[in-house]
Structure 1
Amino acid sequence: MEQLDPGIVQTLNEIWTQIMIHMRSMALPSRLWQFGIIAVCFALAHLGRLWIAPKIDAWARGRDLSTAQMRRVILVRKRVRGIIFVILAWASVFALAQIKTFYSWRFLVVLAATLVTAWLVVGLITRLIRNALLRKIVTWGAWIYVTLYYLGVTEQAAAVLDNAAIELGGFRLSLLAILKALVLTALLFTLARMISGRAAGKIRTNDEISPSMRVLVIKVMQITLYGTAFFIGLKSVGFDLTGLAVLSGAIGVGLGFGLQKVVSNLVSGVIILLDKSIKPGDVISLGDTFGWINSLGARYVSVVTRDGKEYLIPNEDLITGQVVNWSHSDEFVRIDLFFGTSYGDDPHVVRKLAVEAALSVGRVLKNRPAVCHIVGFGDSSVDYILRFWITDPVEGLTNVRGAVYLALWDAFHEHGISIPFPQREMRVLPGSELAVKEPETKSAPDR
């Protein structure tokens, strides 16, 4: 069996000696009194929680609180017992300090009050970390550290963790370094999230930057901040970052063979953001898909249609395929409608009524000309084209076409304009005979 490192054994012996010294001192009357005070404070804090928690719940239900306010209420509710204990413990310390006989009988009470106060502060601060797993790691790590710090065994515990290490050549990795790296990386990630969140909020509200450039700047900033936090965390462990060159080469080979489509979509996404050909809010048509762009992702573009479907279109398709962007350079969209009227109707009147009917629809622009032209003489009708403009294609095209068609129907019906439909006549020429074929009757089968 492999023996432990002598340094670890010596450190553990020192810690055990201090523990035994403290255990022997617990039997002193002054220590027993302090344990009693701590127990009473804890019991009162527990009873206080049972009484106050339902009142907090009732108070919260009676008010229209936002999500952020509700989270604060829940945060306080979960820590009611600790808050009450801290208040009672520090009140006991103050009371013992006023009595000369018991002035020296307050060490353990001060220690308990200090520890619980530190635990509460750590629990509140770590709520800034959104990732649940990372928050738990940092919380427990901070709780253990402050406990060891106020117990006065920080150096001994650090020595034990530092001696528990593995060595690979010139690289040494200890538990202490891993814990430091985890805590440091968590703090840096939290700081990066806070900075990127505030900066992203200001960038999104800056009208001087185009929507596509806003997305690009935010993504580059997030990658830079989180990448820096990650590499600083690796560096704090002592990891040699020059070794990543070999890893990046291997990743490059893998990308060249197996991840061509993924890389193509990533590069296409950057191109889309740089050339500003597509941006959030644009109305596009791609094949049979018509809708507005909801968001631009690293690999795909989210397009929401009028029927509520959300299509995730790869960025490569938007670069290599033909895309109709209804709002690329401006918001004006021209719509063409085709219809026909009878040869007996005056085309001048028809054109005037068609333009008036189009302009009567609310979404049709009045400051842009609506025109109607004859485009042909059909078999049974005079064919027209009606053109008008709108500025809100995101609200749909089919519905505005339907509204204009309905206005045309009402206007033509009011003025006696007829909309013909194809009709066919069959004539029997003189001298010809119309033969009627008698239906065949089936004979009964022979038996």
Structure 2
Amino acid sequence: MTQSFLSEQLLDLWSDLQQPAVFWQVAVLAGCLLVGWILARLIRLGFAAKDSNAGILRIGLESFSRVLSPSIALGLILLIRPILARTQHVNLLNVAIPLVACFVLVRLSLYVLRRVFARTGRVGDAVMVFEKLITLVVWTGFAMYITGLWPDLIDSLEKTVLPLGRNKVSLLTILQAVGSVLLTLLLALWAGAGLEQRLMRLESVHSSLRAVMARMARALLILIAVLVSLSLVGIDLTVLSVFGGALGVGLGLGLQKIVGSYVSGFVILLERSMAVGDMVTVDRFYGQVTRINTRYTVLRGLDGIESVIPNELFVSGPVQNYSLTDRALWLKTQVTVSYDTDIESVLPLLEAAVASIDRVLTKPGVTANLQRFGADGLEVEVGFWIADPENGRSNILSKVNRAIWQTLKNNHIAVPFNQREIRILNDRLPIFMAPTVPVSSDDVTPPSVGADR
């Protein structure tokens, strides 16, 4: 049996350690690692010093610095090794290259996972499990490579054949297919996340159009990734036609509501009938739009309750948007004053009282009108405009009513209440209305003996 890769490297390293020139390899390795760390730090600090409008490159490099440092070191080692090999052996660098490469691969995998599935900063349990699994697989592969077991493993996987219908596929081909699909999907999701952040920063484009472009770009990248990965493995893409037909039938029969919501989501985003931050009323739900997804929209009510509403409801039914073209909202309240009030002096007082509230717009202004002659007094309606419907209507109406009430009290203006008088025209009640007093058997006195008959 021939010597393994590990034993060959150990013998070469041992022979190099006997020579004083090995210190050149140690110095080169340490210098590359140090230069890589310094350059990565300088790049990160340089982009961090810029303003927040530097773009997606700054966002990527700030979190990519942990991957950038070993990557620069690996590039320097690969660059210096052939130069140093002209004068001496470089067995130490030959062992260091796959070690640093595995380190770069682990860091890069963790970076991509967190950029795709933990963009908000919170790392879930599933992401942690995937990170540990990737780390274990990478270092296991490095251990098998350095010990010389990697060629034997590849040969064993290639000889293991699994029957799939009429064909037989080796286990190595299946693993390559799964790996290529996962890798291309992960890269597509990473590119989609970066593109979405870039699009969301375009202030010149409407927010709905930005969301549509981001979602369509991500879907297109995922589709391309799947097709490319299947082509790399050698799977004929024409076999997907059967799957596509079955999927179409399934969508037409059982997924009508879901597909309708997805299509409605794109319609809402494209026609810009609703955007994040709008105050809307749909069906029996009222609140602020906090999120527009492809399938559903989230409305946050003024009481803090969030409602998840399918997008189909926004397209098939009537929707009231309080801030579609103008955020100004008209509100009104009513008050009744007595008939002996000077109405011409009351109306300006009410308008001035309502206009003094901070949320009430001064333009177009407050209007107070005499609506009708009511049964109890003169009915006055006070109308006003606000520009922030997302802050609620009940609280501003409360402030307006309190200001009106204080103004009426300060000016001694009476607010009548309902009064009803009941007059009895005849003091003699009818016989059928005379009250009856129940008489018990104990109150009845039996007749005495010898009474008149």
Q: C-alpha distance in 2, partners of 1:230/1:143?
A: 27
Aligned-pair distance for 1:272? 1.1
Alignment of 1:37-116 (within 5 A): 116=99
Alignment of 1:93-242 (within 5 A): 116-130=99-113, 132=127, 134-136=130-132, 138-151=134-147, 154-166=150-162, 168=164, 173-242=169-238
Q: C-alpha distance in 2, partners of 1:303/1:146?
A: 51
1:14-50 CA-to-partner distances (Å, cap 9, x unmatched) read xx7545x9789999xx69x99xxxxxxxxxxxxxxxx
Structure 2 CA distance for partners of 1:23 and 1:214, relative to 1, 3 Å: closer
Q: C-alpha distance in 2, partners of 1:430/1:349?
A: 45
Amino acid at match of 1:342: S
1:267 maps to what in 2? Answer: 263
- 239-248 vs 433-442, which deviates more? 433-442
1:64 maps to what in 2? Answer: none
Amino acid at match of 1:266: Y
1:385 maps to what in 2? Answer: 381
1:237-267 CA-to-partner distances (Å, cap 9, x unmatched) read 2222211111111111122221111111112
3-state secondary structure, aligned to 1:424: coil
1:361-408 CA-to-partner distances (Å, cap 9, x unmatched) read 110001222111111111102112211111100011111111111110
Amino acid at match of 1:372: A
Aligned partner (choices 426, 429, 432) of residue 425 of structure 2: 429
1:143-199 CA-to-partner distances (Å, cap 9, x unmatched) read 344444444565454333233234658866333333333443343334323322222
Amino acid at match of 1:265: S
Amino acid at match of 2:108: I
Aligned partner (choices 409, 417, 420) of residue 413 of structure 2: 417
Q: Is the 1:334–1:389 contact (alpha carbons within 8 Å) kept by the matching residues of 2?
A: yes
Amino acid at match of 2:435: K
3-state secondary structure, aligned to 1:336: strand
Q: C-alpha distance in 1, partners of 2:302/2:333?
A: 21
2:241 maps to what in 1? Answer: 245
Alignment of 1:277-288 (within 5 A): 277-288=273-284
Aligned-pair distance for 1:290? 1.6
Aligned-pair distance for 1:233? 2.0
Q: Is the 1:373–1:385 contact (alpha carbons within 8 Å) kept by the matching residues of 2?
A: yes
Q: C-alpha distance in 2, partners of 1:279/1:269?
A: 12
Structure 2 CA distance for partners of 1:172 and 1:368, relative to 1, 3 Å: farther
Q: C-alpha distance in 2, partners of 1:301/1:438?
A: 68
Q: C-alpha distance in 1, partners of 2:216/2:10?
A: 59
Q: Is the 1:357–1:411 contact (alpha carbons within 8 Å) kept by the matching residues of 2?
A: yes
Amino acid at match of 2:314: L
Amino acid at match of 2:324: H
| Equivalences, count | 372
Q: Is the 1:173–1:237 contact (alpha carbons within 8 Å) kept by the matching residues of 2?
A: no
Q: What is the percentage of aligned positions where both structures have the same residue?
A: 29
Aligned-pair distance for 1:344? 1.3
Q: C-alpha distance in 2, partners of 1:276/1:440?
A: 77
3-state secondary structure, aligned to 1:129: helix
Q: Is the 1:122–1:143 contact (alpha carbons within 8 Å) kept by the matching residues of 2?
A: no
CA RMSD of aligned residues (A): 4.1
Q: Is the 1:371–1:387 contact (alpha carbons within 8 Å) kept by the matching residues of 2?
A: yes
Q: C-alpha distance in 2, partners of 1:384/1:190?
A: 65
The answer for unaligned runs of 5 or more in structure 2 is 19-58, 68-87, 118-126, 443-453
2:308 maps to 1:325: no
Q: C-alpha distance in 1, partners of 2:153/2:377?
A: 96
- 176-185 vs 276-285, which deviates more? 176-185
Q: Is the 1:180–1:236 contact (alpha carbons within 8 Å) kept by the matching residues of 2?
A: no
Aligned-pair distance for 1:221? 1.1
Q: Is the 2:355–2:365 contact (alpha carbons within 8 Å) kept by the matching residues of 1?
A: no
Q: Is the 2:106–2:134 contact (alpha carbons within 8 Å) kept by the matching residues of 1?
A: no
Amino acid at match of 1:234: L
Q: C-alpha distance in 1, partners of 2:8/2:101?
A: 27
Aligned partner (choices 311, 317, 325) of residue 315 of structure 1: 311
Structure 2 CA distance for partners of 1:431 and 1:315, relative to 1, 3 Å: same
1:359 maps to what in 2? Answer: 355
Q: C-alpha distance in 2, partners of 1:443/1:298?
A: 83
Structure 2 CA distance for partners of 1:310 and 1:441, relative to 1, 3 Å: farther
Amino acid at match of 2:229: G
Q: C-alpha distance in 2, partners of 1:24/1:431?
A: 128
Aligned-pair distance for 1:205? 2.2
1:287-308 CA-to-partner distances (Å, cap 9, x unmatched) read 3322100101222110000111
Structure 2 CA distance for partners of 1:305 and 1:17, relative to 1, 3 Å: same
Aligned-pair distance for 1:219? 0.8
Q: C-alpha distance in 1, partners of 2:167/2:189?
A: 31
TM-score, normalising length: structure 2: 0.70
Q: C-alpha distance in 1, partners of 2:163/2:378?
A: 91
Aligned partner (choices 391, 399, 412) of residue 395 of structure 1: 391
Q: C-alpha distance in 1, partners of 2:233/2:348?
A: 81
Aligned partner (choices 291, 297, 301) of residue 295 of structure 1: 291
Q: C-alpha distance in 2, partners of 1:134/1:442?
A: 91
1:405 maps to what in 2? Answer: 401
Q: Is the 2:212–2:270 contact (alpha carbons within 8 Å) kept by the matching residues of 1?
A: yes
TM-score, normalising length: structure 1: 0.71
Q: C-alpha distance in 1, partners of 2:414/2:320?
A: 36
